[in-house]
């Protein structure tokens, strides 16, 4: 009941008058509206430049295509079961609902008349608590799927893990476990290692436990949930007799309850050199903290492959406890700009750089 009460009061929270001029970015960066997409969630990019955007609450998936000087948004699917995760692979679009993944063949050549989808032979749980999936294809050509814990904190087999399989759903295996609820993962562009965000448990106060950015250099690692949180905090119920040193600690502890979702290494060449190869995280924002946290994009800087700092990159969607936006996912376009989805304001934004380094490059 307490969770329902918290959601009720969250719904009554003040809503800020939105303006992109309120978003704070480092010098030389700019943000603009790229497309209108209802409840814009996960992002995937097609070979022909089509942006695919999931719509979890509206039960749909959209395509955003270039149209003259702007974009055109096309609704591809309807009446799906919380479609959150989407991925593009070998010309096909994969859409993850709570209990299934469906493949839509040759999708970019059929945007105005979507072919019948082909459900993969994958057995997925049907629980709705943390049941919205995140999916992606790794450098190993495998399909990865997150399966969140069906609870705030519990110990239940077959949950709290990331699984992987062939594109047709065969040869499924658990890649990583002890993961409460990952709604964002990516791969290091040089090492091909999996990196993922994880949302920390609730009901331990405003500042505990830390949310997480994790690194999985190989299969078979356990990241602690539900026994240990944030690399050093034993769970008051499930931590009895456990030792946090037995589990993989976060590569970077994030602020508590910020709800980190999408995560990407910056792979373009538009941003200055100091941002290239660094980690960007979309922090969706807290839902039950007495003072809100998150609602921003953060930057984790790496040195020799290891995090050395964690700092805001884009913020301003939260002002004086009023919310104007909630970042969800990130993707880097071919020109080096970055797209950001926002399921609160029903937008996709584009962040670009126009500072001295970029201007000098353009003159050459």
Kindly state the average pLDDT of the residues 143-171.
98
pLDDT tens readout for residues 287-325: 999 999 999 999 999 999 999 999 999 999 999 999 999
Q: What is the mean pLDDT of residues 114-137?
A: 96
pTM attached to this predicted model: 0.94
Distance separating alpha carbons of residues 85 and 360, to the nearest angstrom: 39
Angle at 355 between CA 262 and CA 301, to 5 degrees: 40
Q: pLDDT value at position 68?
A: 80
Please, what is the Cα angle at 360 between 358 and 364, to 5 degrees?
115
Q: Which pairs with CB-CB distance under 8 Å and at least 24 residues apart come from 243-249? A: 246/222, 247/178, 247/222, 247/223, 248/178, 248/214, 248/216, 248/221, 248/222, 248/223, 248/224, 249/224
- Please state the rounded mean pLDDT for residues 142-146: 98
Over the stretch 66-111, which tens digit does the pLDDT of each residue have? 888 889 999 999 999 999 999 999 999 999 999 999 999 999 999 9
Which token pair is 211? 């949310």
Q: What's residue 1's pLDDT?
A: 39
Per-residue pLDDT, averaged over 18-22, amounts to 86
**What pLDDT does 102 receive?**
98
Beta bridge partners of 353: 29
Q: Is the pLDDT of residue 250 over 70?
A: yes
């Amino acid at each position: 009941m307490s969770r329902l009460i918290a959601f009720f009061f969250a719904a009554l929270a003040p809503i800020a008058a939105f303006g992109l001029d309120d978003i704070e970015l480092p010098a030389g960066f700019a943000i603009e509206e790229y497309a209108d997409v209802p409840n814009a969630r996960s992002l995937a990019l097609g070979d022909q430049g089509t942006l695919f955007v999931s719509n979890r609450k509206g039960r749909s998936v959209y395509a955003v295509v270039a149209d003259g000087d702007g974009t055109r948004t096309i609704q591809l699917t309807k009446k799906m079961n919380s479609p959150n995760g989407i991925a593009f692979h070998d010309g096909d679009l994969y859409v993850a609902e709570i209990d299934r993944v469906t493949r839509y063949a040759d999708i970019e050549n059929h945007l105005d008349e979507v072919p019948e989808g082909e459900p993969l032979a994958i057995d997925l749980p049907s629980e709705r608590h943390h049941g919205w999936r995140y999916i992606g294809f790794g450098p190993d050509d495998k399909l990865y799927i997150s399966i969140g814990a069906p609870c705030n904190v519990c110990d239940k087999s077959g949950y709290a893990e990331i699984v992987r399989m062939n594109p047709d759903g065969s040869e499924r295996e658990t890649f990583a476990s002890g993961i409460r609820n990952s709604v964002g993962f990516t791969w290091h562009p040089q090492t091909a290692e999996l990196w993922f965000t994880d949302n920390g448990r609730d009901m331990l106060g405003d500042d505990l436990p830390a949310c997480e950015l994790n690194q999985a250099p190989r299969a078979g690692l356990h990241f602690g949930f539900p026994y240990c949180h944030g690399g050093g905090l034993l769970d008051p119920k499930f931590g009895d007799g456990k030792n946090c040193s037995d589990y993989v600690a976060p590569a970077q502890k994030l602020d508590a309850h910020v709800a980190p979702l999408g995560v990407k290494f910056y792979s373009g060449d538009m941003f200055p050199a100091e941002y290239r190869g660094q980690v960007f995280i979309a922090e969706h924002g807290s839902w039950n903290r007495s003072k809100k946290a998150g609602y921003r994009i953060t930057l984790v800087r790496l040195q020799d492959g290891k995090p050395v700092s964690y700092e805001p990159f884009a913020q301003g969607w939260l002002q004086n406890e009023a919310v104007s936006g909630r970042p969800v996912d990130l993707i880097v376009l071919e020109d080096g700009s970055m797209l950001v989805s926002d399921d609160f304001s029903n937008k996709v934004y584009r962040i670009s750089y126009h500072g001295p380094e970029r201007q000098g490059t353009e003159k050459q």
